[in-house]
């Protein structure tokens, strides 16, 4: 097994995007602010976990913003 330096590990695990997403499920709106994720799908997966499975890939996205961290 190859040893990783701490710096290399942290760069691999760091996500350089922040997402703000609002999702409508039935009559509820779920709001995710400043979600650090690799991409939009990853951010939705995180929202799914945090909502107890209520948010899914088929949920209606009513607001979406993506910012890149430099």
Summarised one tens digit per residue, pLDDT across range 1-32 is 455 566 665 665 666 799 999 999 999 999 99
Where do the structural domains in the chain lie, given as residue ranges? Answer: 16-68
Q: Is the pTM of this model over 0.85?
A: no
Average pLDDT, the chain: 85
- Which pLDDT score is estimated for 13? 60
Summarised one tens digit per residue, pLDDT across range 33-65 is 999 888 899 899 999 999 999 998 889 999 999
- Which pLDDT score is estimated for 49? 92
Residues 23, 47 contacting (CB under 8 angstroms):
yes
Residues 20, 43 contacting (CB under 8 angstroms):
no
Roughly how many angstroms between the first and final C-alpha of the chain, as a whole number?
31
């Amino acid at each position: 097994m190859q040893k990783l330096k701490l710096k290399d590990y942290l760069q691999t695990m760091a996500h350089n995007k922040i997402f703000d997403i609002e999702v409508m499920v039935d009559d509820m709106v779920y709001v995710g602010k400043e979600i650090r994720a690799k991409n939009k799908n990853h951010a939705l997966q995180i929202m799914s976990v945090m909502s107890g499975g209520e948010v899914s890939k088929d949920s209606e996205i009513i607001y979406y913003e993506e910012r890149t961290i430099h």
